[in-house]
Chains A and B, each alone.
Chain A
Amino acid sequence: MKDNLHHELIQALKKAQDDSVLGYRLEDWRVTVSRAQIITLGIKNNAGGSVYTPPAFKNSEHADVYLVWQDGKCSKAKVQKPFAGAKYDWNRELKFWRMAAFEDPYSKTIPYPAKLPEVRIASDEIKTMIESGNRFIFDQQGKILSNRPQGAQTGANIMALWGRNSVFTSTGINVTYNESRYAVSWSFDSQIARGYAKRRMITESEWQELWDESISRYEVIKNQAEPVHKKTVVILAPSVVEQMAEQYILSNFNGENIVQGQSKFTQEDFIQNKKVFHEGISMEIDPLRPYQWTSYLLTSEGIPALYTALVLNGVLCSPILNAKYGLRWGILPTAIPYGAAGIRMRQNNQIPWTDMLKGIDDGILVLSVLGLHTQNPVSGSFSLAVPSGLRIKNGHFVGKADIRINGSYWDILNSPDTACGISELDNCPYLLTPCLCENL
């Protein structure tokens, strides 16, 4: 991170505010610089650090450039270190960017400096680990290999990131901040998978809880359980709930999709606070929570992190709006979820997952599904094969069952029979649903 690509770039942009490029001066600009050092390590087919998952170190630095010209046109480009030690000819670059400029009536979206929230997104422990030899992640790899269940085909991935990002704008934003990320995941026989992803290292107790849960579920899934029945209740595991949020919530709440007629919802639905889910259900983006994977300080557009309610008690509150679609909608930009993990679902009468489990007489926990990304996000209907489903009888896991689930995501969220069970280990709840299941 010794190169200061952005200094030269910013000087060139400032100059272009005074001296025209192909007859046009720059009115505004924004430069977002991302620098990251990443270390990864993995296990494949029970082998640690194999040729497919060797310890890997990745270093990158690039800048995203957004320009607004005096005639209102704008340009978007990506810049990185010049090739083989050469120097950038910024004048030539600016001319090319001007040639690639496009008309956009909502281009003037460079924000002014604003007070930034206090959000903990950088852990020095991760920085130290990356800079001092990565011993910790090698140890974690060893721990997975030595404790894995006998006979299980084990896979795992471990990743740590230390980043230093900056946002500079012609309006005076000049922010540089650090960030960190740490993620670990493992799977047994491609059936039982578990993971952790935050902006800090995993604690010993978090590791142990996740590991113990994986081992106990792996033991159970070896048994074939009785087939499902008409009255068998379907519970979606948190990882499946998150995938569904990715497929249905992110696309249908995206401001661009709504404005362009590519969402289930219309602008009018939000303006009228249309009731779309059952009254107990709420959804939010909260990027202010400390050390969460999707927490952030400010967006890449320079908008400070803030809390946004998408749905409150079943009623539409806000779409997801970046600076452009905020301007177009006529309201301020919202929080950005940066992936489905950034969407939190709550229910007024949610209960701990352990309590929910005890109350299920005949159910199946869907641990993974095949083909969710192929389903129609607008209609919400789904028909999915479940390669890993754990049968529940009288409050206990009893074995595996092969099923298919059918239903509608929108119907699930609109049903009074839907219930959330929360677990400290997961960002999303367990979702007890009224969807249908059938044996394969």
Chain B
Amino acid sequence: MNSERIRQIVKDLTRKYPEDYLIVRAQARREINIKLNNGKIESVSTGNESGMGIQAFTVNGASGFSSANSIEEGTAGELAEKAIALAVENERIGCELNTQIFSLLPNQDEIPNYAKYDFDRFSPEELQEKMMQIHRQLEEIHLENASIAWQTSYRQVEDFWCIGRTDGTLVSFFIPRAVLIHQGTVRQGDLGQSFSIHRSGMDVGILLEEEEDRGLQKLAEDKAIFIQKVCTSDQISLGSYPLLIDYGLAKGLAHEAFGHAVESDLAEESVLSQHGKLRKGLEISGCGVNITDGSYPGDWAYQPYSANGQKRETVVIVQDGILKQGLGDVFSAEKAGMEMTGACRAEYYGSVPLPRMTNIRLMTDTRIPLPKSKGLEDELRNMRTVLKSQGLLQKDYHFVLIGYRGGQVNIKTGDFVFQCDGAVNIADPTLKTYKPGIFSGKILSVLQSVRSSIGDERYDAIGTCGKAGQLVPSSGGGSGYILLEKNEGIRLGGSENER
């Protein structure tokens, strides 16, 4: 893609309408997707897409937006005029005005592509061969009395963004992303459950690493064995329990329970705000608990600049148990009593940006080391031994929740939920496995239970956040398995009536 040419088109357009204020976003994307099913290639698709989105502002702060999947001078001019006309019409009917954008200082930057391997390092044919080899290794995994159907997918994307503003701002950056996912469906008789595991990075390097260390294959085997046990296991009785959650669930907890509730556009209705302002200084946990959000090169959710051209900052949301800061963008940070942190993101050039998370982390000051383990079961045994030796293992029930399956939050009521693949009771020396039960709680009480973390920190859990119908990559993790004390505000499991 011709990044220089795109920068020039964006720059020219922002200068062409000096009477109006424009934010111009141009995006060019290349991608390849390969999917395999049970030993055969299901599909290979390729695409080159590009386009522009323009948000125009009247002098009084009314805005209008227009976009097209084309980057060329002629179309750009038409789009700008359309966006300006919509902004004028919007003002005429009495829309809410917002002049915050005029207060920004101009930015100029050009961030190169940090990918180690060029997008075209391997031809589509070569990628197919690599994928087939990696996928076929899964055939070596066998379960007693159960079958597994495997699906493997690989997605390699190279996004180039250029953002310009009438004030002279011109920033551009590349976002290279690649992900390799194995999805297994385990069936034992009439029972079945699916799961997925992934390896993510910036480029085709993730396939080369997998060829070298077979890390994902080992994980797939471990997980398949675990899921088979889950299929035939009992449901956890509804209740409150002492818990350990893995790094994927730590990401889910931080993302659903805190990240969304501190986004500046949601401050009007969030339980972490009062009268529309972030409740800074609110004590929401004991000492030693921290939540941060930031963008890191090489991460799945990397984005160095906001969709409005502001530098994305690392934000300490919770420090030592105290609510400190929110994810603020230029339009609503001040109103929400937050700092501007460049938090705006857009799904694609045709989306109107909103404050969003990138890589969110739940960390504790106290970390208990775990001996190196050979696999999941070994790790659970080590965890039991270590907790027992420190007097932290609870009697009867102490569940470890494994595998994040997604979550959801209602920031108005403060309710959040997330789901895992399954649970193991490490208070039971047989490490009994249980079916997953939804984890639900209240934003204002859940962090009170966090005590410490155990094992190695990991921050590369990935997902897709669907706020306002826009799908953007999200990521994060925890400073190990996070230890949560029993808390009546956190409920886990199926039905009370199944006890």
Q: Type the 1/0 row for B55-68, where 1 means its CB is closer than 8 Å to any CB of A.
A: 10000011111111
Q: Count the A-B residue pairs with Cβ separation under 8 angstroms: how many? A: 244
Contacts of B493 in A (CB 8 A): 383
> Out of A56, A61, A133, which one reaches B69, CB within 8 Å?
A61
Q: How far is the CB of B253 from chain A (nearest CB, A)?
A: 13
Q: A60-B350, A262-B149, A370-B409 are in contact. Are A51 and B74 (CB under 8 A)?
A: no
CB atoms of B66 and A62 under 8 A apart: no
> Out of A45, A48, A58, which one reaches B68, CB within 8 Å?
A58
Q: How far is the CB of A2 from chain B (nearest CB, A)?
A: 11
CA distance A96 to B95 in the complex (A): 48
CB atoms of A376 and B32 under 8 A apart: no
A108 within 8 A of B: no
B175 within 8 A of A: no
Q: Which of A141, A377, A385, A436 has the most CB of B within 10 A?
A: A385
CB atoms of B149 and A261 under 8 A apart: yes
Instruction: Across the A-B interface, give the 7 residue pairs with the lowest CB-CB distance, nearest first.
Output: A261-B149, A49-B95, A47-B96, A374-B419, A100-B124, A371-B417, A78-B47
Q: A85-B72, A379-B191 are in contact. Are A52 and B352 (CB under 8 A)?
A: yes
- B74 to A, closest residue via Cβ: A85
CB atoms of B440 and A56 under 8 A apart: no
CA distance A141 to B96 in the complex (A): 13
CA distance A381 to B405 in the complex (A): 14
Contacts of B350 in A (CB 8 A): 58, 60
Contacts of A334 in B (CB 8 A): none
CB atoms of A374 and B69 under 8 A apart: no
Contacts of A47 in B (CB 8 A): 95-96
CB atoms of B125 and A99 under 8 A apart: yes
Contacts of B6 in A (CB 8 A): 84
Contacts of B183 in A (CB 8 A): 262
CB atoms of B44 and A383 under 8 A apart: no
A-B contact pairs, 10 of them (CB 8 A): A48-B93, A52-B352, A57-B86, A84-B2, A85-B74, A99-B125, A100-B32, A100-B45, A261-B38, A376-B405
CB atoms of B194 and A83 under 8 A apart: no
CA distance A61 to B51 in the complex (A): 11
What's the dominant secondary structure at chain A's contact region?
mixed
A301 within 8 A of B: no
Q: Contact residues of B with A, CB < 8 Å?
A: 1-2, 5-6, 9, 28, 32, 37-38, 40-51, 55, 61-74, 82-83, 86-87, 89-90, 93-96, 98, 123-125, 128, 147, 149, 151, 183, 185, 187, 191-194, 235, 238, 265, 268-269, 331-332, 350, 352, 354, 405-413, 415-419, 435-438, 440, 491, 493-498
- B67 to A, closest residue via Cβ: A58
Contacts of A275 in B (CB 8 A): none
- B466 to A, closest residue via Cβ: A373
CB atoms of A376 and B98 under 8 A apart: no
Q: A76-B44, A261-B187 are in contact. Are A55 and B65 (CB under 8 A)?
A: yes
CA distance A264 to B44 in the complex (A): 26
- A368 to B, closest residue via Cβ: B410
CA distance A101 to B46 in the complex (A): 10
Contacts of A376 in B (CB 8 A): 193-194, 405, 436
CB atoms of B436 and A56 under 8 A apart: no
Contacts of A57 in B (CB 8 A): 65-67, 82-83, 86
Q: Size band of the A side of the interface?
A: 35 or more
- A375 to B, closest residue via Cβ: B419
- B89 to A, closest residue via Cβ: A55
Q: A49-B95, A52-B331, A102-B41 are in contact. Are A60 and B419 (CB under 8 A)?
A: no
CA distance A153 to B411 in the complex (A): 13
Q: A83-B1, A189-B412, A371-B417 are in contact. Are A56 and B352 (CB under 8 A)?
A: yes
A348 within 8 A of B: no
A387 within 8 A of B: yes
CB contact list, A104-145 vs B, under 8 A = 104, 133-134, 138, 141-142
Q: Which of A80, A101, A134 has the most CB of B within 10 A?
A: A80
A273 within 8 A of B: no
CA distance A377 to B192 in the complex (A): 9
Q: Which of A377, A378, A440 has the most CB of B within 10 A?
A: A378
CA distance A97 to B123 in the complex (A): 11
A191 within 8 A of B: yes
CA distance A44 to B267 in the complex (A): 12
CA distance A264 to B194 in the complex (A): 11
CB atoms of A371 and B438 under 8 A apart: yes
A260 within 8 A of B: yes
CB atoms of A54 and B73 under 8 A apart: no
> Out of A138, A373, A406, which one reaches B408, CB within 8 Å?
A373
CB atoms of A83 and B28 under 8 A apart: yes
CB atoms of A256 and B408 under 8 A apart: no
A384 within 8 A of B: yes
A355 within 8 A of B: no
CB atoms of B73 and A153 under 8 A apart: no
Q: How far is the CB of A313 from chain B (nearest CB, A)?
A: 22
> Out of B123, B187, B354, B419, which one reaches A52, CB within 8 Å?
B354
CB contact list, A348-382 vs B, under 8 A = 370-371, 373-379, 381
Q: How far is the CB of A302 from chain B (nearest CB, A)?
A: 18
CB atoms of A60 and B68 under 8 A apart: yes
Contacts of B405 in A (CB 8 A): 374, 376
CB atoms of B63 and A54 under 8 A apart: yes
CB atoms of B45 and A77 under 8 A apart: yes
A171 within 8 A of B: no
CB atoms of B64 and A55 under 8 A apart: yes
A59 within 8 A of B: yes
A91 within 8 A of B: no
Contacts of A153 in B (CB 8 A): 268-269, 412
CA distance A47 to B93 in the complex (A): 12
A208 within 8 A of B: no
- A437 to B, closest residue via Cβ: B495
Q: How far is the CB of A226 from chain B (nearest CB, A)?
A: 18
- A439 to B, closest residue via Cβ: B496
Contacts of A387 in B (CB 8 A): 410, 413, 415
CB atoms of B5 and A84 under 8 A apart: yes
Q: How far is the CB of A327 from chain B (nearest CB, A)?
A: 14
CB atoms of B43 and A80 under 8 A apart: no
Contacts of A256 in B (CB 8 A): 37, 42
> Out of A97, A138, A141, A385, which one reaches B417, CB within 8 Å?
A385
Q: A50-B98, A81-B70, A385-B440 are in contact. Are A75 and B90 (CB under 8 A)?
A: no
- B231 to A, closest residue via Cβ: A379
Contacts of A219 in B (CB 8 A): none
Q: How far is the CB of B143 from chain A (nearest CB, A)?
A: 13
- B193 to A, closest residue via Cβ: A376
Q: How far is the CB of B448 from chain A (nearest CB, A)?
A: 18
CA distance A77 to B33 in the complex (A): 10
Q: Type the 1/0 row for A230-265, where 1 means its CB is closer than 8 Å to any CB of B.
A: 100000000000000000000000001000111010
Known contacts A371-B418, A374-B419, then 4 further A-B pairs from the complex at CB < 8 Å, ordered by chain A residue = A57-B86, A134-B89, A153-B269, A261-B187
Q: How far is the CB of B189 from chain A (nearest CB, A)?
A: 12
Contacts of B438 in A (CB 8 A): 371, 374-375, 383-385, 404
CB atoms of B69 and A62 under 8 A apart: yes
CA distance A52 to B9 in the complex (A): 25
CA distance A55 to B57 in the complex (A): 12
Q: How far is the CB of A436 from chain B (nearest CB, A)?
A: 5
CB contact list, A21-64 vs B, under 8 A = 44-45, 47-62
Q: How far is the CB of B419 from chain A (nearest CB, A)?
A: 3
- A45 to B, closest residue via Cβ: B268
CA distance A247 to B94 in the complex (A): 41
Q: A56-B66, A262-B194, A438-B238 are in contact. Are A50 and B72 (CB under 8 A)?
A: no
Q: How far is the CB of B255 from chain A (nearest CB, A)?
A: 13
Contacts of B41 in A (CB 8 A): 102-104
Contacts of A44 in B (CB 8 A): 265
CB atoms of A374 and B418 under 8 A apart: yes
Contacts of B71 in A (CB 8 A): 83-84
CB atoms of A374 and B352 under 8 A apart: no
CB atoms of A58 and B66 under 8 A apart: yes
CB atoms of B495 and A371 under 8 A apart: no
